[in-house]
Structure 1
Amino acid sequence: MTIWLKVIRGRSSRWPVPSPEDRRVLAVWCPDWPAAAAAAAARLAPLHPVVVLHANRVVACSASARAAGIRRGLRRREAQARCPELHVAQADPDRDARAFEPVVAAVAATVPGVEVLRPGLLVLAARGAARYFGSEEVAAEQISDAVSAVGVGCRIGSADELSTAVLAARRAALVPAGEGAAFLAPLPVSELAIEPALAAPERVELVDLLHRLGLRRIGDFAALTPAEVASRFGADAIRAHRCARAEPERPPSADRPAPDLAVDYVCDPPIDRVDAAAFAGRLLAVRLHERLAAAVAACTRLLVVAETASGEQLSRIWRCAEPLTADSTADRVRWQLDGWLTHRALRNPDPDHDPDLDPTGSTIVGLRLEPVEVVAAAALQLGLWGGVGEEDERARRALVRVQGLLGGDSVRIGVLSGGRGPVERITLVPFGDERVPAADPALPWPGKLPQPAPAVVLGPQPAVELTAADGTGVWVCDRGLFTAEPARLRWGSKQWPVTGWAGPWPLDDRWWATPTEADAAPVEGSVRVQIQLDGDTRVLLLLGYAGTWHVEGLYE
């Protein structure tokens, strides 16, 4: 198999500046696409309620599920309690992309030049469609009929700019030329962050800040001058402000720039399985980004082209809000190839029924990744390991995978809680659940351990022995003082001289408990003390109860 890679350094000077008519965009949005894809995979009836979960919370639901009172963010148990016949599916980007390919193919067969923003959302230039069908209204009807023919519902919107068209598609509105800002003005400012394919992850924080500043509508934010936004907020806020003002953005591609860099890769035999195609796509993605890094560039619009053994060429453009990384490029290549291979297999399940169909003709013999649009990599903030800030996302995926293999309670994270000791001030909640502490940390909590808190809090609290100079054990008398000055501390087979201490601090908490309850939590008669050891930079936090000292934490 021969594989081509082509990279461009920038736009050609021969390209004319697009006119407002040329910038018109049609957006096709399929509502609740993850739920629709899950229902199609399970072969459910159209009105059957479906939810898609991620980290045990609802991230997408069908219209019938919403009618039953289910909303995004609900926990699985609460959603099933509201609708017992609910079909529950886990989030699966591969499934969503695979199911979306027939929709993209149907739209591309009606109007060429389709760009996929994400599974469930695509855009295309409106000028050609309007000229061919006579108007944008007729073009929208034709596209809607083509999508309905594959059994999917959609909403279509058009506007001068891409982001405005996407928001218009959510309301099935065709915004007249020059009226994008007026259409956006009354919408809630949260709409600027509602579409992840157009907004960076930090857009949610920006929307929250705008709410606290009293800017509740997009028009309120658009009323600010660009200088005011640039001096107060970051780069993403500037992009959001341009979106709010319906100012020109980069349009869907109408022409393909000449190649500047190319890499050929030979692979044999032809690819007929998704896993083999994903492996080749991963290899190509790594090589592509090595070339991009050498050219000090990053890709924001990617063309994926596959050639089959029968000579057919399949192509699709993926547009992204943020520059693609090697991992995100590999994901999109895998999604696209999975959709192509699966769609072609479903369309012709039995080659014997079609004598003109060669069963080996649908295998992929060529694959090309072509950056259609690039930006300067100097403007990117690289992560610690050379990526564009994906370390948190990679860690989250790893934790979710471990949680899926071992169960929901297998991965827990600590939440600051209220309490007097270090153990009580940590509440462990399952990863993905709402971070609700067991007690309010903002309350006064008189008698709590003074700052700073221990760097390490021990789970099983090992017993230690605190003795005086004559070898007798040290405890606390009724007046809250040591019975003798601590001189040595023995921990297992080791012992250290004691050079200083702070405390003791008697505890009058949990007077109803016994020393064996709640993992040796403080009970009546308990006491805490900080001990400095000679020749060691660490300080121990000791918890004493039932006449025995235990190591509760370490200061390092």
Structure 2
Amino acid sequence: MTPATDTPDRPRRLVLWCPDWPVVAAAQEGGFGPLVPAAVFAANRVVACSATAREAGVRRGMRRREAQGRCPELLVHEHDPARDARCFERVVLAVEALVPGVEVVRPGLLAMPVKGPARYFGGEESAAERLVDEVEARIGVECLPGIADGFFAAVLAARRGAVVEPGGSAEFLAPLGIEELDQLPAHEVDGGLVDLLRRLGIGTLGGFAALPAADVLTRFGAVALVAHRAAAGLEERPALRREPPPDLAVTEQLDPPVERVDAAAFAAKVLADRLHAELAERGLACTRLAISARTENGEELRRVWRCADPLTPAATADRVRWQLDGWLNSRRGEPRPTAGISVLGLFPDEVVGAGALQLDLLDAATGEADARAGRAFARVQGMLGPDAVLTPVLGGGRDQRDRVRFVRWGDERRPALEPEHPWPGRLPAPSPSVLPESPWPVDVLDAEGAPVGFTERHRLTAAPHRVVAGGRSREVTGWAGPWPVAERWWVELLAVGELTPASQVPPRSVARVQVVLAPDAAGPEADEVALLLVHEGERWWGHGAYR
């Protein structure tokens, strides 16, 4: 029997991770099997994909057009956090049938103290195996267990299906790459920290943990100190937490009882506002929230959400809505309430000082208009989901589409690629003012009506004279370029043999041209228009317009 010992800075954790959960949730509601190549997209980028899609070359962060090009039979689903939480409720119920005190970190990830299950099932490994078997037997979902000292180490252990011996988290984390810090929530690690540490020659978590904490705080700031504690196998936040006052719990009697999720979500919004008003008066913020609901027939639901970041009223209301959606709309024989919800309650199980939510002087001086807009955006997210309000972030890259990344309102506005890096081949200013959802095919002809192409040295075979798109032909009055880009050319130079997954991505060679088209008298607009044309795959594509 493996002993389960806790220390204040290294509480022993058991984590269950369901890989590719957004795809699994989409499969459960869509009715397709696990062998079907599928991917979930948000802002036209891959959020998660199935194992069969990965075998075809689909990767997270890939654009939809590229993913479908590598896997034409790819089944596409839009990201739906409510669906993820609703389907994950069945997994939580299966685990709670054996172990109380389960914390939902996010749909697809559960955490719990390991001491109790280890004593009951005869050891940590036995407890993990029993939970995995229970989830697979009842739900038919694969999950991986991880046990370690500290939450961050347990998450990385779950991604490897490993059990780390007590006191061995630091040794387990030490050889792992510094990029594993990306497993921390976005608000807990600076977007450029991993790249900065790599450029400083720190390539492993052990190398980062070896730095003195005082030097990390002085050089990189308080956010990096959180990542430093995690890399050392310590709890990501210090164990000194305040006990929530018992009178902070808020409940609401629903008369008449509600059976619809939207009606319950409205009551949850009122409760969330009341709870956070009480917390604000005491200078506190909630990091671990218990949601309770009781029906007229005495059926009860209680679920704990573990939140790495102090909750806001909108985030609290969202979690209540997702939880009630999973309970009221249970599927496939799972128990569901036999009556409407009559009592709804919120209980802050864990609180911290509200300093984590305070704005700095510069942010606080932006005015009431910004605050009203932020509240409006948060309300839209509460009604339609977190992906309903997106903010564009401009980053680096050669392609205009690669430079823009959409992030959820309220999340850190971190670019996908570092904008300060040199990007040879980047288009000169100005950038296109209109970028279509997907490029459209065009024909570029010379003065003789022959197609214009490119030589092996990326030279135009003739000057563009006419552009044909959508059955309409317009004369070219001016053009600039070309700007060629050869990406991943080194793949062709690799020796024949087993390649790494990164080397399996084929090379890409494109050339861009800007053209100005003469006014079209037959069209609704009589002004000149400029287009960004890209030559790729032996033909031309329209990638943007200048207006």
Task: State the TM-score bracket (shorter-chain normalisation).
Answer: 0.5 to 0.7
Task: Decide which of 43, 47, 65 is 2:31's aligned counterpart.
Answer: 43
Q: Which residue of 2 aligns with 1:190?
A: 179
After superposition, the Cα gap between the structure-2 partners of 1:19 and 1:44, relative to the gap in structure 1 and judged at 3 Å, is: same
Task: Decide which of 66, 74, 82 is 2:70's aligned counterpart.
Answer: 82
Q: Would you say the 8 A contact 1:113–1:253 is kept in 2?
A: no
Which structure 2 residues correspond to residues 49-448 of structure 1 after superposition, within 5 A? 49-149=37-137, 150-196=139-185, 199-200=186-187, 202-248=189-235, 259-343=246-330, 346-347=333-334, 361-382=338-359, 384=364, 391=374, 394=377, 432=406
How large is the RMSD of aligned CA atoms in angstroms?
4.5
After superposition, the Cα gap between the structure-2 partners of 1:389 and 1:321, relative to the gap in structure 1 and judged at 3 Å, is: farther
* Separation in structure 2 between the aligned mates of residue 444 and residue 66 of structure 1, nearest angstrom: 29
SS state at 2:141 partner: coil
Residues 363-391 of structure 1, C-alpha deviation per residue, up to 9 Å, x if partnerless?
Answer: 21111101111111134333658999995
After superposition, the Cα gap between the structure-2 partners of 1:90 and 1:389, relative to the gap in structure 1 and judged at 3 Å, is: farther
SS state at 1:110 partner: coil
Q: Would you say the 8 A contact 2:147–2:164 is kept in 1?
A: yes
Q: Would you say the 8 A contact 1:49–1:87 is kept in 2?
A: yes
Residues 439-485 of structure 1, C-alpha deviation per residue, up to 9 Å, x if partnerless?
Answer: x998999xx99xxx9xxx9xxxxxxxxxxxxxxxxxxxxxxxxxxxx
Q: Would you say the 8 A contact 1:416–1:427 is kept in 2?
A: no
Q: Would you say the 8 A contact 1:308–1:364 is kept in 2?
A: yes
Deviation at 1:47, TM superposition (A): 1.2
SS state at 2:172 partner: helix
Q: Which residue of 2 aligns with 1:6?
A: none
Q: Percent identity?
A: 49
AA aligned to 2:216 is V
SS state at 1:347 partner: coil
SS state at 1:316 partner: strand
AA aligned to 2:311 is L
Q: Which residue of 2 aligns with 1:23?
A: 11
After superposition, the Cα gap between the structure-2 partners of 1:514 and 1:124, relative to the gap in structure 1 and judged at 3 Å, is: closer
AA aligned to 2:269 is R
AA aligned to 2:201 is G
SS state at 1:176 partner: coil
Deviation at 1:288, TM superposition (A): 1.2
Deviation at 1:133, TM superposition (A): 0.8
* Separation in structure 1 between the aligned mates of residue 32 and residue 300 of structure 2, nearest angstrom: 33
After superposition, the Cα gap between the structure-2 partners of 1:22 and 1:131, relative to the gap in structure 1 and judged at 3 Å, is: farther
* Separation in structure 1 between the aligned mates of residue 286 and residue 241 of structure 2, nearest angstrom: 17
AA aligned to 1:191 is E
* Separation in structure 2 between the aligned mates of residue 427 and residue 312 of structure 1, nearest angstrom: 51
Q: Would you say the 8 A contact 1:106–1:146 is kept in 2?
A: yes
Higher gyration radius (CA): 1
Greater length-normalized contact order (CA 8 Å, ≥ 6 residues apart): 1
Unaligned 5+ residue runs, structure 2? 408-415, 434-477, 482-514, 521-525, 531-545
Q: Would you say the 8 A contact 2:188–2:223 is kept in 1?
A: no
TM-score (structure 1 length as normaliser) = 0.66
After superposition, the Cα gap between the structure-2 partners of 1:176 and 1:297, relative to the gap in structure 1 and judged at 3 Å, is: same
* Separation in structure 2 between the aligned mates of residue 428 and residue 51 of structure 1, nearest angstrom: 19
* Separation in structure 1 between the aligned mates of residue 55 and residue 373 of structure 2, nearest angstrom: 36
Residues 150-205 of structure 1, C-alpha deviation per residue, up to 9 Å, x if partnerless?
Answer: 11100001011111111110001100001100000011111111243xx5264332
After superposition, the Cα gap between the structure-2 partners of 1:178 and 1:146, relative to the gap in structure 1 and judged at 3 Å, is: same
Q: Would you say the 8 A contact 1:381–1:388 is kept in 2?
A: no
After superposition, the Cα gap between the structure-2 partners of 1:220 and 1:88, relative to the gap in structure 1 and judged at 3 Å, is: same
* Separation in structure 2 between the aligned mates of residue 277 and residue 168 of structure 1, nearest angstrom: 37
AA aligned to 2:97 is A
Q: Would you say the 8 A contact 2:152–2:235 is kept in 1?
A: no
Deviation at 1:247, TM superposition (A): 2.1
After superposition, the Cα gap between the structure-2 partners of 1:61 and 1:415, relative to the gap in structure 1 and judged at 3 Å, is: closer
Unaligned 5+ residue runs, structure 1? 1-16, 350-359, 419-425, 458-507, 523-551
AA aligned to 1:52 is V
* Separation in structure 1 between the aligned mates of residue 403 and residue 527 of structure 2, nearest angstrom: 17
After superposition, the Cα gap between the structure-2 partners of 1:178 and 1:202, relative to the gap in structure 1 and judged at 3 Å, is: closer
After superposition, the Cα gap between the structure-2 partners of 1:190 and 1:310, relative to the gap in structure 1 and judged at 3 Å, is: same
